[in-house]
Amino acid sequence: ISHTWFLSIIQNEFRTGKIDLDSTMNLLEKLQISFDFAHVKHVFKKTVDKRKAHTINIEDFRAIYRTIVHRPEFHELFRAYSPNCKILADTELIEFLRKEQYETEACETTALEIILKYEPIEEVRKRRQMSFEGFIRYMSSEDCSIFKNDHRTIYQDMNHPLCDYFISSSHNTYLISDQLIGPSHLWGYTSALLKGCRCLEIDCWDGSNNEPVVYHGHTLTSKIPFRSVIQVIDKYAFVASDYPVVLSLENHCSPKQQEVMADYLESILGDKLLTSTIGDTMVTQLPSPEALKFKILVKNKKVGTTEEGMLRRDLDSHGETGEISEFENMSDEDETNEKAPLYPKSDSSKRKSEHRPSHPPRKKAKIKKIKIAIALSDLVIYTKSEKFVSFEHALANQKCYENNSIGEVRARKFVTHSAKEFVSHTSRFITRIYPKGTRTNSSNYNPQEFWNVGCQMVALNFQTPGVQMELQNGKFLDNGGCGYILKPEFLRNHNSTFTPHNVGRYGKPMSLSIRVISGHQLPPSNLSKTNKADPLVQIEIYGVPEDQAKKKSSVIKSNALSPRWDETLSFTVQVPELALIRFCVEDEISLVTNEFLGQYTLPLLSLSKG
């Protein structure tokens, strides 16, 4: 049957006898299988080179199809469940689903759905059976992806307060290359939003003609009008996700241009802009992502409380400014100052503070006053930026709608020396981490160490590829890719004693065993003229320190088309809720260096069995 079906689809193309490479590609598309151009080209070339021709006949095509599509590992599986090795009856498919895919609920309906969806041969489909062709298409489909199907949609409770979620966050979103001389571009905002990013950073400075501009201050990065940035955000904010977007303003504008900013925010974003509290004017708890659907929130410094701002709602506050006093040199927001001492310079206080990094300054730090336009201040409702002094200070004074930004260097010290206080802090207040100012090439830090203590907004340079962004993208595949992921209970509970270095009773050890079976149509090595590579698979676990692990498969020599390993790698994971697993395929170039071929990262708990 499959032979007749195959011929019926392809014979038309061979009316004139032979076909070239382009027609071969078109035919493969018509047969609805995924293929890689480089590999097909290579197999095609091998076929025609023998005859010094540029075209193939119908038998050649069949051989190419089998080489690319009929993977032996699929055939072995199929034969194990198909008594005649030609057809799977629905009952045999059910047995396969239960035994191999751990679908304990699988029944006749499940099997029929799969047959109707993937079986290409009509006669077989009508008999409620599955041919090897259907089996291949099912095995290569999204339904057999290693990523759990029900995690592709929003499945978590979205009614907790905002601070209970990890929030996908970007740093200097306007940059698309380095931090010093690279271009600033609206595409930075578009692409971050399309990737599901929910917290964007906007660096605002006074521009000419009373038009605020966005760029990395004191550098040669190019400037874009603030107005254009807001227009792009208005257009793309809710394409990838319905949940709220937070605009983190790093505001260097004069009060006059801050008013212009406020006007643009209101006129361009309209109803999307959150300008008042939801329900109660008294804010005792942050609202949930669900309650803030399709809303854009402004994160900025603010004069006074949200309640006071609400009383002014209907008054015209143009021309009015307020003043904020804060300690001068405990710089958080101002990244150029990241290198500055955290405490007033004096040897005795410096030595003490190194041992106890979360104490407020010993000596009177210089106080600076910041002017803020009331019109902009009043647009800040649930995300008021507050200078971080210490964990004790925050616990005693900070309101639930006030949040802190902490530079990675200072935050890393807290992770090491005061993790318990850090976890307690992030269970109550939104905390944003940003890269140190010396990362002028837009490199990223490892976000995992800050997720481990519950930091909600771990801001990364989205424009820089690498392991750090792969972890970010992998983590936020979860929960339908909506940009909000509910933190584990031990990072939400105010009385939690969890720390990443000592998980204690919070550990739920899980044993994980992964069988690396095979690869298919891997990218060939850059060094190879013949489409080959010497691939190996490295599996990495990222999580709390004791869960960090790496294991490697053996190397398969010169085979990028269909390397076969059949090796099992095992791990024990203490805190699965925080763990990510990264599959990395490399090409062994020499005993000391490997070339990266590809990777896939996902949350450990989103792994599908089978």
Catalytic residue selected from 160, 171, 425, 520 = 171
**Other CB atoms within 10 Å distance of the CB of residue 366:** 9
Start-to-end Cα distance in the chain: 30
Closest Cα partner for 265 from 308, 217, 218, 231? 231
- Dihedrals phi, psi of 86, to nearest 5 degrees: -120, -35
Write b or e for each residue in 493-509: b if 16 or more Cβ atoms lie within 10 A of its Cβ, otherwise e.
Answer: eeebebbbeebeebbee
State the DSSP string of 52-120: T-S-B-HHHHHHHHHHHH--HHHHHHHHHH-TTSSEEEHHHHHHHHHHTS--TT--HHHHHHHHHHH--
Answer whether 428's CB lies under 8 Å from 399's CB. no
Q: Is 203 exposed, middle or buried (0-12, 13-18, 19+ CB in 10 A)?
A: buried
Catalytic residue selected from 151, 160, 185, 216 = 216
- The token duo for 320 is 């009015």
Q: Has 185 been annotated as catalytic?
A: no
Q: Has 494 been annotated as catalytic?
A: no
Q: With the CA atoms of 459, 462, 466 and 471 taken in that order, what torsion angle do they form, in degrees rounded to the nearest 10? A: 50
Answer whether 22's CB lies under 8 Å from 30's CB. no
| Residue 62 Ramachandran class (φ > 0 left, ψ -120 to 50 alpha, else beta) | alpha
- C-alpha 566/C-alpha 348 separation (Å) is 61
Place of tokens 């850090």: 422
Write b or e for each residue in 553-576: b if 16 or more Cβ atoms lie within 10 A of its Cβ, otherwise e.
Answer: bebbeebbbbbebeeebebebbbb
- Vertex 131: Cα angle to 129 and 137 (nearest 5): 110
**Other CB atoms within 10 Å distance of the CB of residue 216:** 24
Answer whether 113's CB lies under 8 Å from 119's CB. no
- C-alpha 186/C-alpha 176 separation (Å) is 9
Contact residues for 94 (Cβ-Cβ < 8 A; gap 6+): 106, 107, 108, 110, 111
- C-alpha 399/C-alpha 404 separation (Å) is 11
- C-alpha 259/C-alpha 268 separation (Å) is 14
- C-alpha 39/C-alpha 524 separation (Å) is 9
Pairing between β-strand 87-89 and β-strand 129-131 as defined by DSSP bridges: antiparallel
Answer whether 535's CB lies under 8 Å from 527's CB. no
- C-alpha 480/C-alpha 148 separation (Å) is 11
**Secondary structure of residue 3 in the 3-state scheme:** helix
Pairing between β-strand 199-205 and β-strand 580-588 as defined by DSSP bridges: unpaired
Q: Which residues are catalytic?
A: 171, 216
